[in-house]
Structures are given as C-alpha cells and as structure tokens.
C-alpha cells in the first residue's frame, strides 16, 4: 500500500513538473517570439514566401528542436522518443502562441486565404518553438532540477561526467564537439531570424566598404571568442591549465564563425534575400547578418 501511495505521489509530482514545464515553454515562446511577432517583414514573408523554402525551414528546425529538447526539454529526457515528444510539444506551443498573438494583433482574420494564415503562423513558429525550449533553461526555478533523491540535475551530470583519469569536468552536461557546433547553429539561427527579414541588413551592406567588411569580420570573431573564453559570464568556458589560447580559437571560435556564416546564408536564401543578387553583394549580406548570428552562436554555448 505504501509503495502504491509513494508511486501515486511520484506520478502526481512528475505531472506537476511537466505542467510547470509547459507553462515555462509557453512563456519562453512568448518572451523570445514577441519581437518577431511584432515585425512587419515577417508578416509579409508569411504571405508571399515561396512555400518550398518555408517547408525546408520547418524541416531543418525539427532536428534542432529534438537536439535542444534532449538538453533543455520540459523535463529530464533519457531517450530519443522523449526528446522527440518534447520537441513536438514545443512546436505545438509555438503554433498556438503564434496564432493567438497574430490574431490578437489583427494579422490573421477570418476570411483570409488558408495559405496566408498557415504561412504567417508557420514562419513565426520556428523562432517561437526555439524560445519554448529555452524557456525551461532560462526561466526554470531552483526546484525545477531537483530529483527524488534531492540531487540536482547538474549534480548528477557532474558525478557522471568524469574523465578516465578521475579528473572532474565542469558542472555542465557533457557535450561533444559536433554538439557544440550544433548548439552554435541553433543560436545563430535564432538571432538571424530576428533581423534577416528586415531591410536594414541590405541597407547596412550597401553602406559598408571593403575595409568596413574586413574590420567587421575581425571584430565579430573577436566578440565570439571573448563571449565564451574571456568575459566572465555565467557559463564561460575555462581553458585547462597549460592550454594555449589559440587551441580554442582555431578549434571552436573560427569553426563557430563559419557555422554562423553558413546559417546566415541559409536564412537569407530562405527569405529570398540573395535571389538575383551579384555574388559579391550576397557575400556582403551574409557577413552583415553573421554579426548577430555569431553573437547568437557564442551565447548558445553559454546558456545551453
């Protein structure tokens, strides 16, 4: 009987945690999605954007959400199935929040073509779904990560993440090199979606000279490296004693900048910004957009 009672209490506690996670997910979708939900260019893109490009953006977003859900989902996940479930829930929350806010602002109404309504909601749901999953990691309370035995999730990760020679690794979830790059891609995509639809990207690129471009590249790379390894933000990565500075620079910072460039090019192509544009001018667009994208990539390594 006592076993059944404890099982019932445990099930109730897990359900409560999951519902709290849903609330945080909805809050995250709203918090991180509002800037784009109130951006005119995104409303217009949802109307005229080529549907195969929008579909490709949605398809690319799915594995990124699964990866995020595995790390910062609504509850602790141990299997791919659970991560996929959390990713689907995040996408569902993002669709509901996007539809609700767009309706509130009068951007979708009864009588509009179904394709226009679906396009406006779908394009907004991509950043909002990322925000829904970020809501757990950024809006979680101190009790959120407490397990049944009183240990925190980070404590469990710290105990299990031991090197073969017994040295303790930092108090964070173990992340492989490929996962680090994927994290940076998620961060770059999220910030790029905020600014890529705006005309300012084109305007800035036309104002910049070749010298501006070269300096912008160097400053962007410097900011990326400083975010993760120099400035004492929460989550800053510390290099092991005796490791030269250039090791992390060439292993993470430069590849991270290339990831930001690739994501920037993909987003610009998705939004039709590089269609019928000279290659040199398209490159300028990519470099300009990679400035916020690189910052997002660096920030993702800190907060995730």
Distance CA 120, CA 102 (A): 8
In the chain, DSSP finds a helix count (H) and a strand count (E) of 12, 0
Cβ atoms of 222 and 231 within 8 Å: the answer is no
pTM above 0.85, yes or no: no
- For position 143, what pLDDT does the model report? 47
3-state DSSP helix/strand/coil percent for the chain, to nearest 5?
75, 0, 25
- For position 233, what pLDDT does the model report? 53
Cβ atoms of 134 and 26 within 8 Å: the answer is no
88 CB contacts (<8 Å, ≥6 apart)? none
- For position 153, what pLDDT does the model report? 45
**What 8-state DSSP symbol labels residue 97?**
H
Residue 268: both structure tokens together:
């610009």
- In the chain (304 residues long), the average pLDDT of successive 10-residue segments reads 48 72 84 86 87 94 90 74 89 93 91 90 92 75 46 42 40 68 91 89 92 95 83 55 71 92 96 90 95 91 72
- For position 155, what pLDDT does the model report? 44
- Per-residue HEC secondary structure of 130-152 comes to HHHHHHHHHHCCCCCCECCCCCE
| CA 291-294-299 angle, 5° bins | 125
- For position 241, what pLDDT does the model report? 61
Alpha helices per DSSP H over 105-229: 114-139, 153-160, 177-195, 200-207, 210-225
At 228, which helix (H) or strand (E)?
A: none
Distance CA 120, CA 103 (A): 11
Phi first, then psi, for residue 141 (nearest 5°) are -90, 175
Phi first, then psi, for residue 223 (nearest 5°) are -65, -40
Distance CA 161, CA 166 (A): 10
Cβ atoms of 304 and 183 within 8 Å: the answer is yes
- For position 99, what pLDDT does the model report? 93
Residue 229: both structure tokens together:
């390894």
Q: Where are the beta strands (DSSP E) in the chain?
A: none
Break the chain into its structural domains and give their ranges: 13-142, 172-304
């Amino acid at each position: 009987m006592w076993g059944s009672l404890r099982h019932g209490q445990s099930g109730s506690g897990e359900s409560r945690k999951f519902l709290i996670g849903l609330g945080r997910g909805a809050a995250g979708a709203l918090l991180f999605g509002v800037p784009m939900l109130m951006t005119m260019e995104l409303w217009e893109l949802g109307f005229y954007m080529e549907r195969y490009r929008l579909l490709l953006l949605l398809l690319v977003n799915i594995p990124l959400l699964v990866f995020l859900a595995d790390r910062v989902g609504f509850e602790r996940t141990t299997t791919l199935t659970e991560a996929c479930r959390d990713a689907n829930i995040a996408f569902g929350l993002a669709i509901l929040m996007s539809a609700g806010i767009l309706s509130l602002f009068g951007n979708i109404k009864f009588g509009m073509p179904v394709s226009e309504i679906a396009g406006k909601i779908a394009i907004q749901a991509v950043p909002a779904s990322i925000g829904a999953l970020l809501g757990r990691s950024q809006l979680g309370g101190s009790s959120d990560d407490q397990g049944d035995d009183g240990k925190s999730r980070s404590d469990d990760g710290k105990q299990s993440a031991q090197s073969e020679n017994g040295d303790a690794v930092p108090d964070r979830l173990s992340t492989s090199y490929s996962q680090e790059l994927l994290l940076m891609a998620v961060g770059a995509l999220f910030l790029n979606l905020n600014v890529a639809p705006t005309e300012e990207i084109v305007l800035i690129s036309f104002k910049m000279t070749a010298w501006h471009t070269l300096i912008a590249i160097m400053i962007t790379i410097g900011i990326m490296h400083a975010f993760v390894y120099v400035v004492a933000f929460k989550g800053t990565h510390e290099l092991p004693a005796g490791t030269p500075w250039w090791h992390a620079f060439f292993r993470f910072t430069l590849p991270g900048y290339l990831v930001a460039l690739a994501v920037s090019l993909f987003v610009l192509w998705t939004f039709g910004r590089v269609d019928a544009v000279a290659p040199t001018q398209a490159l300028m667009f990519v470099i300009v957009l990679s400035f916020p994208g690189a910052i997002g990539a660096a920030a993702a390594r800190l907060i995730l």
